[in-house]
Structure 1
Amino acid sequence: MALSRKTPIERIEYAIIVSTLLLLVVVTVQPILNLLAVSLSEPAKVPGMSGLTIIPRGFSFEVWSVLLQHPNVQRGIFNSIFITAVSTVIGVVGTALMAWGLSRPGLPGRKALFILVLVTIVFEPGIIPDYFVNKRLGLLDSYWSVILFKAVNAWYLIILIRFFEEIPKELLEAAELDGANPFQVFWHLVLPLAKPALATISLFYLVFHWNEFFRAMIYLNDQGKWPLQVVLRQFVIDGDKVAIVGANNASNNTGASQIDLRSLKAGMILLTIVPILAIYPLILKFFTKGTMSGALKG
Structure 2
Amino acid sequence: MRRTPLERIEYAIIVTTLLAMVVVMLQPILNLVAVSFSDPSRVAGKSGLDIWPSGFSLDVWMLLLQHPNVQRGILNSIFITATATFIGVVGTALMAWGLSRPNLPGRRIIFLLVLVTIVFEPGIIPDYFLMKRMGLLDSYWSVILYKAVNAWYLIILVRFFEEIPEELLEAAELDGANAFQIFFQVVLPLAKPALATIALFYLVFHWNEFFRAMIYLNDQTKYPLQVVLRQFVVEGDKLAIVGADNAANNIGVAQINLKALKAGMIIITILPILAIYPLILKFFTKGTMSGALKG
Matched, 1:125 2:122: yes
Other structure's SS at 2:255 match = coil
Change (3 A) 1:232 1:250: farther
1:57 maps to amino acid? S
1:259 is aligned to 2:256 = yes
**DSSP-derived class of the 1:51 partner:** coil
Which blocks of at least 5 consecutive residues in structure 1 are unaligned? none
Report the CA distance shift for 1:89/1:81 in structure 2 as closer, same or farther (over 3 A). Answer: same
Partner-residue secondary structure (3-state), 1:130? helix
Q: How does 1:50-199 map to 2 (within 5 A)?
A: 50-199=47-196
Shift in CA distance, 252/74, structure 1 to aligned 2, threshold 3 Å: closer
CA distance in 2, matches of 1:165, 1:73: 44
- List per-residue Cα deviations over 1:34-53 (Å, max 9, x = no partner): 00000001111100111111
Change over 3 Å in CA distance of 1:157–1:252 after alignment to 2: closer
Look up the SS of the partner of 2:104 in the other structure: coil
Aligned to 1:6: 4
CA deviation string 1:150-197 (max 9, x = no partner): 000000000110111110000000100111000000000000000000
1:217-256 aligned within 5 A: 217-246=214-243, 249=246, 253-254=250-251
Q: Is the alpha carbon distance of 1:258 and 1:214 closer, same or farther for their aligned partners in structure 2, counting shifts above 3 Å?
A: same
CA distance in 1, matches of 2:167, 2:161: 13
Q: Kindly provide the amino acid, as one letter, of the partner of residue 105 in structure 1.
A: P
> Residues 250 and 69 of structure 1: is their aligned pair in 2 closer, same or farther, counting only changes over 3 Å?
farther
Q: Is there any run of 5+ residues in structure 2 with no aligned partner, and where?
A: none
> Offset of 1:256 from its aligned partner?
7.7
CA contact under 8 A between 2:246 and 2:253: conserved in structure 1?
no
Instruction: Provide the rounded CA distance (Å) in 1 between the counterparts of 2:170 and 2:86.
Output: 29
Number of positions where the alignment pairs a residue of Structure 1 with one of Structure 2: 295
Provide the C-alpha distance between the structure 2 equivalents of 1:289 and 1:18, rounded to a whole number of angstroms.
Answer: 24
- Secondary structure of the residue aligned to 1:253 is coil
Which amino acid counterpart does residue 41 of structure 1 have in structure 2? S
Q: Find the aligned partners of 1:296 and 1:218 in 2 and give their Cα distance.
A: 50
Preserved contact between residue 67 and residue 247 of structure 1 (Cα < 8 Å): no
The residue correspondences of 1:7-46 to structure 2 (distance < 5 A) are 7=5, 9-46=6-43
Q: Which amino acid aligns with 1:228?
A: L
Distance apart, 1:83 and its partner CA? 0.2
- Residue identity opposite 2:124 in structure 1: I
Is 2:207 aligned against 1:210? yes
Q: Quick one: distance in 1 between partners of 2:264 and 2:113?
A: 44
Once the 2 structures are TM-superposed, how far is the Cα of residue 14 of structure 1 from its aligned partner?
2.5
What residue in structure 1 maps to residue 278 of structure 2? Answer: 281
Please tell me the residue identity of whatever aligns with 1:284: L
CA-atom RMSD, angstroms? 1.7
Q: Structure 2 CA distance, aligned partners of 1:149 and 1:176?
A: 37
Amino acid at match of 1:125: P
Residue pair 2:100, 2:158 contacting (<8 A) in 1 also: yes
TM-score, normalised to structure 2's length? 0.96
Residue 276 of structure 2 aligns with an amino acid whose one-letter code is I
- TM-score (normalizing by structure 1): 0.95
Q: Is the 8 A contact 1:251 1:259 kept in 2?
A: no
Q: Does 1:47 align with 2:35?
A: no
The answer on whether the counterparts of 2:64 and 2:241 sit within 8 Å (CA) in structure 1 is no
Give the counterpart letter for 1:6 in structure 2. Answer: T
Give the whole-Å Cα distance in 2 for the aligned partners of 1:239 and 1:49. Answer: 20
Closer, same or farther in 2 for the Cα pair 1:236/1:213, shift >3 Å? same
SS in structure 2 opposite 1:293?
coil
Structure 1 285/247 Cα, relative in aligned 2: closer, same or farther at 3 Å?
farther
- For residues 250 and 170 of structure 1, the distance between their equivalents in structure 2, rounded to whole angstroms, comes to 68
Distance 1:224 1:133 in 2: 23
